[in-house]
Structure 1
Amino acid sequence: MTSLDKPTTTNDQQQQDSDAKAVTEAALFEAFGGVRGMVETVLPGLLFVTIFTINKDLHISAIAALAVSVLLVAVRLIRRDTVKHAFSGVFGVAFGVVFAMMTGNAKDFYLPGMLYTLGLAVAYIATTIAGVPLVGLILGPVFKENLSWRTRNPGRKKAYAKASWAWGLILLAKCAILFPLYWWADTAQLGWVLVTLKIPPFLLAVYLTWVFLAKAPAPIDVFAEMEAEERAEKEREAASAAQRDA
């Protein structure tokens, strides 16, 4: 290797690293909803606690939160955007509204979401212990690697395990704050703490996921492999047909 080759190799490696980080950022943005997804997650709860803090009316607060959730879905449908994050928000708010209306306790508006957070934390940890970390199950299709990381890419599996541990522990820490407040605080206090804790833990978990994956080996594109195998099979069939005709 000449002295002229070394900078080129270094530059190529830096470019590959930069491309890998960009792909990881784009995948995380898509999988977890990005800025718009965060807004759609926070807005209904923020509206509920704001209205309830002002007038202490459970019905008006609940209806307003549900209405804005439905509106967010309608906007996405009109613009033909991805609706999975908005739909999940509607279902979450709807469960909260129904639960609060049934019990007559405004704090119960938040309980389904808190239980979901706890269940998700347990799922992240349990799947990691079982050898199929949830972050890998979520991001595998996004990176077009499906489950190839389980047996063919151990470095990537390790990164997914670290990321899943991070998500699980962060969500457990969030639950450790919220559940005592559910019992001890009033509705407004619980609501404002919950709204405050919506974004920072999420951003921390996404950042740690990005750090782990940016250092991991590149994903194996199983879709490209399947397409290559199909092309090779067609070429073999064409060659066999040509031999028969000869």
Structure 2
Amino acid sequence: MPDSASNRKPRTGVAALTQAGDGDFSVIDAIGGPRGVVESMLPGFVFVVMFVITSDLRSTVLVSAVLAAVQVVARLIQRQSVMGALSGLVSVAICLVWAWHSHEARNYYMFGFITNAAYIVLLGISLIARVPGLGLVVEFIRSLPTDHFRDWFHGWMNDKPLKQAYMAITALWVGVFALRLLVQVPLYLSDRVAWLGTARLLMGIPFWALAIWVSYLIVATPMHRHRELERAAQRQSADSGDLTAERG
């Protein structure tokens, strides 16, 4: 069963769309809040600025790694959730190791290329199969189908407006990931680290926020309608159960 709006905690990323139907959606929350934005962008910003200024890959990697670790430690000291910062640390660590091992600063961005390409493939396959990938993610997080998987799956897949909305936002995100590669890969191939880093920053959180906002505009109305239908069905089921109990 879906959680009530009052019991929900703010979610980040695509998971925030699970709250769109009840009017609890916030773009700021979806991108992790002001602190989350800073934590996401700062290591990459420091990496490109330091490398452009010093051309010293060793010191650039070291400072970026220390900065990412400090962000996690700061949250631990303040007894705050570390999941976002920790996942960011892992991602930054992979990028830094790749750059260090290859001795090329531009390879800091290789992991991002791979993940974007993987998302394009997975979401593209889901569009071809007519089972929108983002619909699967949002509905799974929203209602956690531990039982009656078939009923859960057909419940939203058979809601034509909702399915169409999920198809649309899945296609939108394929476009976002593809545009990132279209702009950034040529900069990588020409070894323009400064421009590549700038493009990566601009097409990171800002693009993420815009894509989430547009996704919200697309899914909010059909999701709200779908939830109203779910609640009506639950009330009808409860009323039927009460009536049966009275007759018994």
* Matching residue of 2:173: 167
What TM-score, normalized to structure 1? 0.73
- List per-residue Cα deviations over 1:119-141 (Å, max 9, x = no partner): 22332222232233232233224
* Matching residue of 1:105: 104
Deviating more after overlay: 37-46 vs 137-146 = 137-146
Give the Cα–Cα distance (whole angstroms) in 2 for the partners of residues 104 and 20 of structure 1.
48
Identity of aligned pairs, percent?
A: 25
From the superposition, tell whether residues 89 and 217 of structure 1 become closer, same or farther in structure 2 (CA, over 3 Å): closer
Output aligned runs, 1:169-184, within 5 Å. Answer: 169-184=175-190
- Per the alignment, in what secondary structure is the counterpart of residue 143 of structure 2? coil
Match of 1:205 among 211, 216, 223: 211
> Residue 73 of structure 1 contacts residue 83 of structure 1 at CA under 8 Å; is this kept in 2?
yes
What TM-score, normalized to structure 2? 0.73
> Residue 143 of structure 1 contacts residue 221 of structure 1 at CA under 8 Å; is this kept in 2?
no
> Residue 96 of structure 1 contacts residue 111 of structure 1 at CA under 8 Å; is this kept in 2?
yes
Give the Cα–Cα distance (whole angstroms) in 1 for the partners of residues 85 and 193 of structure 2.
25
Give the Cα–Cα distance (whole angstroms) in 1 for the partners of residues 222 and 31 of structure 2.
20
Shift of 1:198: 1.7
From the superposition, tell whether residues 121 and 37 of structure 1 become closer, same or farther in structure 2 (CA, over 3 Å): farther
Deviating more after overlay: 68-77 vs 54-63 = 68-77
Output aligned runs, 1:5-154, within 5 Å. Answer: 20=21, 22-23=23-24, 25-26=25-26, 32-144=31-143, 147-148=152-153, 150-154=156-160
Give the Cα–Cα distance (whole angstroms) in 2 for the partners of residues 224 and 77 of structure 1.
40
> Residue 145 of structure 1 contacts residue 222 of structure 1 at CA under 8 Å; is this kept in 2?
no
Give the Cα–Cα distance (whole angstroms) in 2 for the partners of residues 101 and 222 of structure 1.
54
Shift of 1:102: 1.1
Match of 1:187 among 184, 190, 193: 193
Q: Which amino acid aligns with 2:222?
A: A
Give the Cα–Cα distance (whole angstroms) in 2 for the partners of residues 215 and 233 of structure 1.
29
* Bigger-Rg structure (1/2): 1
Give the Cα–Cα distance (whole angstroms) in 1 for the partners of residues 88 and 104 of structure 2.
21
From the superposition, tell whether residues 138 and 80 of structure 1 become closer, same or farther in structure 2 (CA, over 3 Å): farther
Give the Cα–Cα distance (whole angstroms) in 1 for the partners of residues 82 and 120 of structure 2.
24
Give the Cα–Cα distance (whole angstroms) in 2 for the partners of residues 224 and 81 of structure 1.
34
Size of the alignment, in residue pairs?
Answer: 221
> Residue 123 of structure 1 contacts residue 168 of structure 1 at CA under 8 Å; is this kept in 2?
no
> Residue 21 of structure 2 contacts residue 227 of structure 2 at CA under 8 Å; is this kept in 1?
no
Q: Which amino acid aligns with 1:179?
A: V
Give the Cα–Cα distance (whole angstroms) in 2 for the partners of residues 82 and 223 of structure 1.
32
Shift of 1:232: 8.7
Q: Which amino acid aligns with 1:119?
A: A
* Matching residue of 2:4: none
From the superposition, tell whether residues 202 and 158 of structure 1 become closer, same or farther in structure 2 (CA, over 3 Å): same
> Which 5+ residue runs of structure 2 have no aligned equivalent?
1-19, 146-151
Give the Cα–Cα distance (whole angstroms) in 1 for the partners of residues 163 and 55 of structure 2.
49
Q: Which amino acid aligns with 1:93?
A: V
Shift of 1:184: 0.7
* Matching residue of 1:5: none
Q: Which amino acid aligns with 1:200?
A: P
Higher relative contact order (CA 8 A, sep 6+): 2
